[in-house]
Amino acid sequence: MAIEDLIIDNREDGLFRVNRQAFTDENILNEERDKIFNSCWLYAGHESEFNEENTFVSRKVGGRPIILTRAEDNQIRAFFNACSHRGNTVCREKSGKTKAFRCFYHSWSFNIKGALVGLPGPDAYSPNWNREEMGLPKVPRVESYRGLVFVCYDENVMPLTEYLGRSREYIDLMLDYSDAESEIAQGEQNYSMRANWKLLVENSFDSYHGVPTHGRYFGKFLNDIKLGNGSWSDVSDGDSLGGKGIALDNGHALTENPARPTPLQIKSADELAAIKAKLTEKFGEERAQRITGFNRNIFIFPNTFLIAYWRTVRTFYPVQPDYMEINAWCLVPKSDSEELRQSRLENFISFLGPAGFGTPDDVAALEGCQRGFSATSHPQGWSDISRGMGKEVADSTDERQMRTFWRQWKTIMSQRDNASEGQ
């Protein structure tokens, strides 16, 4: 099937369907790598993870190993973690402080700005061999927004702030929920799922699934700890949560739900009230309420979520059509007390953690979908994403936010490459 035909977007009848070939086809994944992951801005890390001079982090972003560095000039640089000599992984540590990376294969050394600064026996090279050309290969673009560092493998991409577009308004609301900067708490979550990556896009801001899928947490656990009126225990499957699904530009979107009593809010009620009072002083009543009164799951196209209540940054990348790797970090305000930080970390681990109340349920659901896709192949069958279509204001339990993703996916994936144009 042609990419254009994989999505039925019938606004007149309020029908939106995605053909399941989009989740199973190896050729589609190859095109996604090329058109999406090699062309869009991708979240790579947070400035707080390498905030001193001569520090670095190394990780895979969009499937490619890279190194993010900060030299004594305070500039953030990004390199591919591949030796310019014969390609070996130069940096094998996840993070640290160093003045140089030494490749263990033939001992070429690169400084933190990427220049080749040493190699054994340089005299054996001809006069035409130019050391200046042999630095670590640079990632074409690296830019940050309020500490969030993004990279892009396409030199010609628009500036990051323009790409983030209207999502910046919501990122600001999340990051302003603190009277100081935020930092990544030590440690990260790395796990995988036997499911297509786009299922996790849908799932990460699917308010419709929350109560039915996570009944153990919302219906039982929160009830058992007696969170009281207004908590989740009085919400049933399919109920509106009183929130919205919001479409933004460039494929970004979010769900926004009014905050409800949670373990964190009960445990740290006084400190959170004090933070809100400070925010009211700083921003005024209305903005302070916008900052503190909602839980938001903010999606940055193509593969990043900022999940405000859990202070989670989540990214994922497809290794195969039916297999993805997921990374998550906890972004905490620097000014929190030890106690509040501890509660936030417990919160981060206990719901969205790979062994928490939430994630194992989601893994079971998404892997179940992927297995179901093979049952309905040839013809592959269609997934329905029509909920709330045609409404002026979409509820958060509707699926407008997902349609926003899919429309951008279709726009990008339908672009012909230059070579095939005119044929």
Q: Which does 232 bind (CB under 5 to 8 A by kind): Fe ion, ligand FES, none?
A: none
CB contact at 8 A, 1 and 21: yes
d(CA 218, CA 249): 32
Closest approach of ligand FES to the CB of residue 70, in Å: 23
d(CA 423, CA 419): 8
Name the phi and psi angles at 183, rounded to 5: -145, 155
- Binding residues among 55-84 for ligand FES as defined by CB under 6 A: 83
The residue from 92, 94, 97, 106 that contacts ligand FES (CB under 6 A) is 106
CB contact at 8 A, 352 and 366: no
Between β-strands 304-307 and 294-300, what pairing exists: parallel, antiparallel or unpaired?
antiparallel
Closest approach of ligand FES to the CB of residue 118, in Å: 10
- Cα dihedral 55, 59, 62, 63 sign: positive
Asked whether position 32 contacts Fe ion by CB under 5 A, the answer is no
Closest approach of Fe ion to the CB of residue 158, in Å: 32
Asked whether position 131 contacts ligand FES by CB under 6 A, the answer is no
Closest approach of Fe ion to the CB of residue 366, in Å: 9
Closest approach of Fe ion to the CB of residue 206, in Å: 7
CA triplet 159, 160, 161: central angle to 5 degrees?
A: 95
Asked whether position 85 contacts ligand FES by CB under 6 A, the answer is yes
* Region of 85-93, 287-295, 299-307, 364-372 interacting with ligand FES (CB under 6 A): 85-93
* Region of 18-26, 103-111, 357-365, 413-421 interacting with Fe ion (CB under 5 A): 357-365
d(CA 223, CA 202): 27
Query: Whose Cβ is closer to ligand FES: residue 86's or residue 282's?
Result: 86
Query: Whose Cβ is closer to ligand FES: residue 98's or residue 265's?
Result: 98
Q: Which of 184, 86, 81 is nearest to 138 (CA)?
A: 81
The residue count for binding ligand FES (CB under 6 A) is 8
Q: How far is CA 294 from CA 34, 145, 213, 394, in A?
A: 36, 22, 22, 16
Look-up of token digits 């001809």? 126
3-state secondary structure of 265: helix
Query: Whose Cβ is closer to ligand FES: residue 38's or residue 89's?
Result: 89
Closest approach of ligand FES to the CB of residue 134, in Å: 10
Closest approach of ligand FES to the CB of residue 123, in Å: 16
The residue from 75, 92, 97, 105 that contacts ligand FES (CB under 6 A) is 105
Query: Whose Cβ is closer to Fe ion: residue 58's or residue 397's?
Result: 397
Asked whether position 86 contacts ligand FES by CB under 6 A, the answer is yes
Q: Which of 298, 302, 251, 249 is nearest to 61 (CA)?
A: 302
Nearest residue to Fe ion, scored by beta-carbon proximity:
362
- Would you report the helix, strand and coil content of the chain in percent, each value rounded to 5? 35, 25, 40
Closest approach of ligand FES to the CB of residue 80, in Å: 13
d(CA 165, CA 169): 8
d(CA 149, CA 269): 32
Q: Which of 337, 167, 364 is nearest to 246 (CA)?
A: 167
Q: Which does 362 bind (CB under 5 to 8 A by kind): Fe ion, ligand FES, none?
A: Fe ion
- DSSP type of residue 120: S
* Region of 91-99, 187-195, 360-368, 392-400 interacting with Fe ion (CB under 5 A): 360-368
Asked whether position 108 contacts ligand FES by CB under 6 A, the answer is yes
Closest approach of ligand FES to the CB of residue 138, in Å: 17
Q: Which of 207, 244, 205, 250 is nearest to 392 (CA)?
A: 244
The residue from 49, 202, 336, 362 that contacts Fe ion (CB under 5 A) is 362
The residue from 6, 29, 42, 103 that contacts ligand FES (CB under 6 A) is 103
| Beta-ladder partners of 144 | 149
What is the contact surface with ligand FES in residues (CB under 6 A)? 83, 85-86, 88, 103, 105-106, 108
What is the contact surface with Fe ion in residues (CB under 5 A)? 362
